[in-house]
Structure 1
């Protein structure tokens, strides 16, 4: 909020009336009181100075610690969050530019390969489809980021969300898991994991690996739109389904695995195809038992599916 000269003069007058030294801390206290930007602080000062009583140096210091220190911490945290969100926005903008630049190169290649038009056009259509999907994901990410900047998701983003995929993290899933033990109803847990992610990281680097993890998260959200997605660890995600037969849940999971294997993931800078990327899943039913035991069974089934060649579901 802009500070006017009148407010500044009134703040100094207030300090003189209270016979407090015009230090930066005391001036901040007086300015906050004059502008009524913290109503609780202003009411407290009105109460303590009722009848012409002056604030002592100790009382002023107590008010600063009680009201202003906490306020500064909150504002500082918000400024840090906005800076992080601005950086994320820059990354998303850069990725969008890379997608469109790659598309421009594709158009140029199609033009130069006019003699091979059928093959070139098919490849171009596939690349165009990939670019449309990537731009759609970037648009969604930008919309979510804008909502957080505008405060539509609260003053501060929840610490319980994974920074990379914006899925719930393990800590953020604890309320969901606790409710499973108290609910008494049966439920289905599916744990997903990428096949051969270590090899992809070694070949292309961690940043490409992170993009692949994001692609898996996006694919799972498309197929489990009514469920919270949890990034359990590394490239593993879980989703919890209630009031559904395990066979029906299995069908949805298989559709998600198929969709992931059909994605044509490419390097953003060169357009090089990274090859077929697959995932596996472990599915279990739980009821009246510790969720840790249920999750361990899901993990064991996931490992079994990966060991059997991947791109499948066990359980």
Structure 2
């Protein structure tokens, strides 16, 4: 019995069958991206055609791939990430080729069995020999199909890991600027209230100057993890350098300030020492500015500006405090 296709590989094939498109690598790529990332240019173009129950035609599929397949394959990746997009594109096309070859192997096996069955029914060959050959062909096809699907699974995992890595800050593991922008855009599209906080490590330049960038990196990671712990279930990202952002889908500014103050207190209660010499480092703290955004994209821009101004007021008023706009 032929191996069952994994769900990730089977769904695009089902899509192609439903729309009567040939299972070519290019069509498989179209289906895969449309199903796995509906917010991408390819996903939106396909959805627009099939929204009213229409089938997507081959010329429409070709046009979509021609228009979008060489630029942005996944919605989160912009033109400047060409190298990663090319890698994902290569992986996706390869998945399509593997799925197609697996389907071809299954079809070839069916044809071979049919030929053997005809020979057997005609009495023109030794039945034991024919059955043995049928079993051998079946096992070979099964092995090829299993190997192809194992590679599909591996490629899928690599693709997902690449997508995740591209949205994570390498030092802290927090969301990076690309992921932050995407999250803000998503909230703006919904139009729901969200509180935006910008936080900046106090006297960070002096930490770098006195102890070196290695210690500075450890301080950034420490503050990042402290913010993440205090703001559990909320969106925390690295805005850049020693600056962080916290986004909470709510209009409750006080709740965000409370969480940030918890993080400040955790840092204040910890006695930090240099790992190499045991020398006390003194207080590690941060300042923050908080603002409310209500509405679309412009609301994000305004709230970020307001949070930034509040942050610098906090710096001017002595640091190690959180102020609202």
Q: With the length of structure 2 as denominator, give the TM-score of the two structures.
A: 0.51
Match of 1:285 in 2: 292
Match of 1:207 in 2: 214
Q: Is the 8 A contact 1:189 1:238 kept in 2?
A: yes
Choose from 185, 194, 205 the match for 2:201.
194
CA distance in 2, matches of 1:44, 1:266: 63
Q: Is the 8 A contact 1:197 1:209 kept in 2?
A: yes
1:307 and 2:316 aligned:
yes
CA distance in 2, matches of 1:204, 1:220: 23
Q: Quick one: structure 1 residues 45 and 294, their matched pair in 2 at CA, closer, same or farther if it must change by over 3 Å?
A: same
Q: Quick one: structure 1 residues 214 and 49, their matched pair in 2 at CA, closer, same or farther if it must change by over 3 Å?
A: same
Match of 2:101 in 1: 41
1:149-164 aligned within 5 A: 154-156=160-162, 157-164=164-171
Match of 2:252 in 1: 245
Of 192-201 and 251-260, the range deviating more from structure 2: 251-260
Match of 1:65 in 2: none
CA distance in 2, matches of 1:251, 1:271: 32
Deviation at 1:240, TM superposition (A): 1.0
Deviation at 1:244, TM superposition (A): 4.6
Partner-residue secondary structure (3-state), 2:274: coil
CA distance in 2, matches of 1:165, 1:216: 9
CA distance in 2, matches of 1:200, 1:49: 68
Q: Is the 8 A contact 1:194 1:278 kept in 2?
A: yes
Unaligned ranges ≥5, structure 1: 1-36, 53-67, 82-153
CA RMSD, Structure 1 to Structure 2 (Å): 3.3
Please give the per-residue CA displacement for 1:78-133, whole angstroms capped at 9, x wherever unaligned. Answer: 5xx9xxxxxxxxxxxxxxxxxxxxxxxxxxxxxxxxxxxxxxxxxxxxxxxxxxxx
Q: Quick one: structure 1 residues 48 and 174, their matched pair in 2 at CA, closer, same or farther if it must change by over 3 Å?
A: farther
Q: Quick one: structure 1 residues 38 and 268, their matched pair in 2 at CA, closer, same or farther if it must change by over 3 Å?
A: same
Deviation at 1:227, TM superposition (A): 0.5
Please give the per-residue CA displacement for 1:26-58, whole angstroms capped at 9, x wherever unaligned. Answer: xxxxxxxxxxx9453243467699989xxxxxx
1:218-257 aligned within 5 A: 218-257=225-264
Aligned length: 190
Q: With the length of structure 1 as denominator, give the TM-score of the two structures.
A: 0.53
CA distance in 1, matches of 2:321, 2:253: 15
Q: Quick one: structure 1 residues 275 and 49, their matched pair in 2 at CA, closer, same or farther if it must change by over 3 Å?
A: same
CA distance in 2, matches of 1:182, 1:285: 16
